[in-house]
Amino acid sequence: MSPEHLDVMIVGAGLSGIGAAVHLQQRCPGHRFAVVEAREALGGTWDLFRYPGVRSDSDMHTLGYVFKPWTDPKAIAEGGTILQYLHDTVREHGLAPHIRCGHKLVGASWSSADARWTLTLRRSADGSEQQLSCGFLHLCAGYYDTNAGYQPAFPGRDDFQGRWVHPQHWPQDLDVAGQRVVVIGSGATAVTLLPALAARGAHVTLLQRSPTWMVSLPAVDPISTALRRVLPQAAALRLTRWKNMLLARFIYSLSRRHPQRLRRLLLAGVRQALGPLATPERMARDFTPRYEPWDQRLCLVPDGDFFRALRQGRAEVVTGQIARITPHGVALQSGVHLDADTVVSATGLVLNMAPVPLVVDGRAVHPADTVSYKGVMFSGVPNLTSTFGYINASWTLKADLTARFVCRLLRHLQRSGQRVALPPDPPPGAPRLPAVALSSGYFERGRHLMPRQGLHAPWKLNQDFWADWWALRCRPVDDGVLQFRR
């Protein structure tokens, strides 16, 4: 029997993949498609991460889908609520028959002679493999390795006699009540964990090498609440979404044009949230980052819960360098010892831009050797798109635009009788720049794995919804750069 053939294969059943499937179903109803997910359950990040307090780090009015407005009053939502939102989306759109959980894509090979991808899937249940083919491959598996988080080689790590935990694989039997917990890290996960663990009865010490920028916002958007009182729900939610998009754009623009002004605003907010704890020494040491705002992502603090835990004495922040891990805690280079029953190593992610090895006509493709085309395709790789959301706004804003562009591209191929869409290599001598300007640790560690970008369209990777809206929704699919073949 010949292998199963699909028009489109979507890889990943998380926020991006489920959204892409809905767009495909609505805009390309005649295309046969499937969604493969390596894990045994759909949901992606929101099924994988189960650490205490896990929540969105963007407002759900923009992190939610454009076709399914977020109706829950809490705009900064817990992970379980987001996971239920995804399950509701699958049920409402009848996607379950198209989703194949427990099927990991382990190989993808393109044949120009056949104008199709041959895919190898491995079932997690028994390790068996199967092959199928597709005309178009859409990667929605995110940008990090779901199997393991980043774990630095701390000296003395094996000497620790307590429990060592990474948030990416949180043990459900861990009871921290009455324990001394040291959380190593300063990113969004660490900022989320501190108040959540303190609320469970632990005394928490957040150990950071350097401070991070934080901003406190209400979990329930008061403007959205007011709009819902005077407008129909659909109109109120639409206005809230646009309001939040414009606000995010304004803050990011302010960070690029007037970083000192934004620094002052953010530090004033932290001082107010800390209250009596905001001594000049503590502010300089623990809450004033060395980098400018938005050189790394801002950490969102819903309802000021992080600062409230500090004011109540249930948690503290320590800034310093680790000398070594001891049997009973963490020794710092300053000579301070942090006693710990449990250490949570919230030290970041491992970047993974290619969830599967790609081969084009027998040639292995490495993402770092390619250049991004409109932020959705790779130069020299035919009939393949990849979702990479915004780093300065909600991920789903770009995921929705990407999914709609994919549908436009598929319809163009169908109407024109073409079978292949290929982004060529940029002109010789054109600059090849890093794709992401953030200095976050996981991007710095994985920069050599990421595709490059150019200075100008269509090779520039925008971090701007409005520029992408024009490029992906308004510009012609056949733009004179993308090549089409029968």
Question: Dihedral, CA atoms, 185, 190, 196, 202, nearest 10 degrees?
Answer: 0
Question: Which helix (H) or strand (E) element contains residue 134?
Answer: strand 129-139
- Asked if the domains 4-147+350-485 and 157-220+270-345 are classified in one and the same CATH topology, the answer is yes
Q: According to the model, what pLDDT value does residue 409 have?
A: 98
What is the Cα–Cα distance from 11 to 159, expressed in whole angstroms? 41
Q: What residues does each domain of the chain span?
A: 4-147+350-485, 157-220+270-345
> Which residues, 6 or more positions from 194, have their beta carbon under 8 angstroms from its beta carbon?
183, 204, 206, 306, 309, 315
Architecture of domain 4-147+350-485: 3-Layer(bba) Sandwich (3.50)
pTM of the model: 0.94
Spell out where 233-336 has E strands. Answer: 299-302, 315-319, 322-326, 329-332
Domain 157-220+270-345 falls in which CATH fold? FAD/NAD(P)-binding domain (3.50.50)
Residue ranges for the chain with pLDDT beneath 50: none
> Which residues, 6 or more positions from 433, have their beta carbon under 8 angstroms from its beta carbon?
452, 453, 454, 455
Query: Which DSSP letter does residue 159 get?
Result: G
Q: According to the model, what pLDDT value does residue 180 have?
A: 98
Q: According to the model, what pLDDT value does residue 437 have?
A: 65
The pLDDT tens digits for 5-37 are: 999 999 999 999 999 999 999 999 999 999 999
What is the Cα–Cα distance from 127 to 237, expressed in whole angstroms? 45
Question: Which helix (H) or strand (E) element contains residue 117?
Answer: strand 116-123
| Cross-strand bridge partners of residue 317 | 206
Using a 10 angstrom Cβ sphere, with 0-12 exposed, 13-18 middle and 19 or more buried, the burial of residue 120 is: middle
Q: According to the model, what pLDDT value does residue 445 have?
A: 72
